[in-house]
């Protein structure tokens, strides 16, 4: 029996011992508690007739409160475990505590602020190399970008200032409020950026084949299901659209420098921010992308220097790395001369065949 049931039953048993209730009453309570553990049923107050007969009604209400509390927890677990979602509740709790610190350039997110020095040019230059036209001063004008897991908007705002139309989404409402507040200080961004407190899967249907670019920077190591995350990216991205990912490799060096040094020794990021088991090697990420209709174009190593608080590109992907992939155009282009070529080929084949023998 699960721990929560044992706890409720032990409390209920003490009530019965104190009241001197019969074994039949205890069995009824046990059956009632067992009926609560059905994920497919909504929470309901368990009606136990013999408890109602208790002179001390407070004991009845205390017991029912245990049942109601557990039913609420079951619904929460059901939401995250039985429904398909990319959100990890444990990760939500971590970032909830830091939601108001996004724009402190010398605080917990200092490394992400300095990462803009290399990730923003990486995104900008790659997109420009795939486009034939751009406006001076607003090089990303006309480009629709989705910033998944945008947090307080650290990457969303620089992309908006480059002229892009950016939608930032994050499941944490507090982070979105922080992003909205910071955006309000720049009137230009009000027209280019919109924020939504939602998950990626929440917008799949309404935003199918909508975005030219998707950015998921320091996100995939925190999601509950990486493959589902990639599938959702593929659905909302236009054919031949670009997906940019920065994340952490799963290696011995990433454990030493990404967790032990960064979190426990230097305190670059809060302790417990990362879970090494959720890090993903570039080879595995490439495999997931290619199996979901992406063609990986670039994989580059990233290195953080804690002494200068700066990032640089490196050939090694043993710790951090950035990836650019393009969604393949699933709509095959039909060559108008294809049918003519097929007919000519069939004619030549028939002409070269020897005549059939007649009896």
| Known binding residues | 119, 149, 170, 217-218, 221-222
How many angstroms separate the CA atoms of 210 and 197, rounded?
A: 18
How many angstroms separate the CA atoms of 232 and 247, rounded?
A: 18
Q: Tell me which residue has tokens 């710790």.
A: 319
325-340 per-residue burial string, b: 16 or more CB within 10 A, e: under 16:
bbbeeeeeeeeeeeee
- Residue list for the binding site for Mg(2+): 218, 221-222
Residues 6 or more apart whose CB falls under 8 angstroms from that of 316 comprise: 301, 303
- Residue list for the binding site for S-adenosyl-L-methionine: 119, 149, 170, 217
Q: Would you say the C-alpha torsion 230, 236, 241, 243 has a positive or negative sign?
A: negative
User: CA of 50: how far to CAs of 25, 58, 114, 340, in Å?
Assistant: 7, 14, 65, 85
Evaluate whether 340 touches 275 at the Cβ level (below 8 Å).
no
- Backbone φ and ψ for 320, nearest 5 degrees, come out as -105, 150
How many angstroms separate the CA atoms of 151 and 166, rounded?
A: 14
Q: Smallest Cα–Cα separation from 215: which of 138, 298, 159?
A: 159
Q: Would you say the C-alpha torsion 116, 119, 121, 124 has a positive or negative sign?
A: negative
The percent of the chain in helix, strand and coil, each rounded to the nearest 5, is: 45, 15, 35
- Give the single-character DSSP code of 265: I
How many angstroms separate the CA atoms of 192 and 183, rounded?
A: 10
């Amino acid at each position: 029996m699960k721990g929560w049931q044992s706890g409720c039953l032990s409390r209920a048993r003490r009530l019965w011992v104190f009241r001197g209730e019969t074994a039949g009453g205890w069995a009824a309570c046990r059956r009632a508690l067992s009926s609560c553990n059905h994920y497919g049923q909504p929470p309901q107050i368990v009606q136990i007739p013999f408890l109602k007969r208790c002179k001390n009604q407070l004991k009845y209400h205390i017991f029912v409160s245990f049942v109601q509390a557990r039913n609420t927890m079951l619904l929460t677990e059901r939401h995250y475990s039985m429904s398909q979602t990319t959100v990890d509740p444990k990760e939500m709790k971590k970032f909830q505590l830091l939601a108001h610190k996004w724009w402190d350039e010398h605080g917990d997110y200092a490394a992400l602020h300095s990462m803009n020095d290399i990730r923003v040019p990486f995104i900008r230059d790659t997109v420009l190399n795939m486009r034939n036209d751009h406006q001076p001063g607003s090089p990303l004008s006309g480009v629709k970008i989705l910033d998944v897991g945008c947090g307080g908007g650290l990457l969303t705002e620089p992309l908006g200032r480059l002229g892009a139309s950016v939608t930032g989404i994050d499941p944490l409402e507090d982070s979105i409020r922080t992003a909205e507040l910071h955006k309000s200080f720049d009137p230009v961004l009000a027209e280019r950026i919109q924020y939504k407190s939602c998950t990626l899967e929440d917008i799949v249907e309404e935003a199918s084949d909508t975005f030219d670019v998707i950015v998921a920077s320091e996100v995939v190591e925190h999601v509950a299901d990486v493959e589902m995350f990639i599938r959702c990216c593929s659905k909302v991205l236009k054919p031949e659209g670009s997906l940019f990912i920065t994340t952490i490799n799963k290696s011995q060096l990433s454990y030493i420098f990404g967790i032990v040094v960064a979190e426990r020794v230097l305190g670059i990021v809060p302790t417990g921010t990362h879970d090494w088991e959720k890090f993903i090697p570039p080879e595995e990420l490439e495999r997931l992308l290619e199996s979901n209709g992406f063609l990986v174009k670039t994989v580059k190593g990233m290195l953080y220097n804690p002494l200068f608080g700066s990032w640089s590109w490196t050939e090694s992907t043993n710790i951090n790395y950035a990836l650019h992939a393009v969604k393949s155009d699933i709509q095959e282009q039909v060559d108008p001369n294809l049918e003519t070529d097929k007919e000519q080929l069939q004619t030549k084949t028939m002409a070269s065949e020897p005549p059939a023998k007649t009896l």
